[in-house]
Amino acid sequence: MAPNTKVVYPGQMNSTLVIQSLISGVMMGSVYALLGVGFSLTWGVMKVINVAHAAFGLLATFMAYSLLQAYGVDPVASLAITIPLLYFGGCILYRTLLIRITSAKAVIVSSMILTFGIAIILENGMLLVWGADPRLLTTSYTSKVFVVGPFYFQYPPLIGFVMSIIGVMTIHLFLKRTYVGKAVRAAWQQPEASQLCGINLRRISTITFGLAVATSGAGGVGMGLLYSFEPHSHNLWLIHLFLVVIVGGVGNVLGTALAGLIIGIITGLSMAFLPYQWVNLLTFGLLMIILVVRPQGLFQSEV
């Protein structure tokens, strides 16, 4: 044996693989959390299940792709354009369509049907504009990594992780520390009492929905940095949204973030040690167990 040869024992190799899988899972799960925060907010606060939430995120991803291809704008920098557009689009959508069903007795079912139609319209619009070919947000740092000991960190998942921390904490602090955020929570916990205190329920609802749609843009770009995407990719994203929100607790921002990390870790470890076709089986088997044991989610609602 050569004198400089490094011996790697099986136990050491396995522990390295486990830790590397945990790192990858945390990075991946954080992006799920960022995409799911707004979805959880409208569901928990307004009792509106926005089935088009992932489609709005995908729209932001395609917009980032176009800006990158045409003008070389970094996908993260493109959020300065897409987030305001999605916010105002969400406000207009609420004022023109959703406001008509929020007073309905079956608001959850009505919102699902209405936003499902919006998702179909968005999907076909993206299909018309960008075509059906898979795309990827390929940047100068897409293939870059930096190494710490035996572990490596890819730049795109790391950027998504940072975006998630900023996005989740921004929403959490907005709800807990700002006047408008406290008004959002009050308006939907005690709507009659809050109106007597001078809170404009229509205005607060518009802001909430616009903010939720805007956060989908950041989550969509994060997903686009990790995976290829096409006009119907929002359907798969939506499945993970339901998973994250149900596990984390409807309306719980920090719970959604923790659920995203948990699901990401489980997915990362599963992909390292199990055949790919078993990954979704294990993940959604977890969902079924949680629904049976604790249907309200792992964490209580914040709103």
Tens-digit pLDDT profile for residues 193-234: 777 777 788 888 899 899 999 999 999 999 999 999 999 999
pLDDT-based confidence at 150, cuts 50/70/90? Answer: confident
Position 187 scores a pLDDT of 73
Please tell me whether the overall predicted TM-score, pTM, comes out greater than 0.85 for this model: yes
Position 181 scores a pLDDT of 83
Find the domain containing 88 and state its range: 33-293
Is 15 a domain residue?
A: no
Angle (CA) 300-301-303 rounded to 5° is: 150
Mean pLDDT of 101-114: 86
Is 54 a domain residue?
A: yes
Q: What does residue 147 show for φ and ψ, rounded to 5 degrees?
A: -110, 135
Mean pLDDT of 55-65: 97
- How many structural domains comprise the chain? 1
Tens-digit pLDDT profile for residues 225-236: 999 999 999 998
Is 5 a domain residue?
A: no
Is 98 a domain residue?
A: yes
Q: If DSSP codes are grouped into helix, strand and coil, which group holds residue 53? A: helix
DSSP secondary structure, 133-185, as one string? S-B----TTTT-EEEETTEEEEHHHHHHHHHHHHHHHHHHHHHHHSHHHHHHH
Is 303 a domain residue?
A: no
Is 301 a domain residue?
A: no
**From the CA atom positions of the chain, what is the Rg in Å?**
20
Compute the distance between CA of residue 221 and CA of residue 135 in angstroms, rounded to an integer: 12
What end-to-end distance do the CA atoms of the chain give, in Å?
64
Compute the distance between CA of residue 284 and CA of residue 240 in angstroms, rounded to an integer: 9
Q: Are 136 and 187 in contact (CB under 8 A)?
A: no
Position 199 scores a pLDDT of 78
For residue 288, pLDDT beyond 70:
yes
Is 10 a domain residue?
A: no
Is 23 a domain residue?
A: no
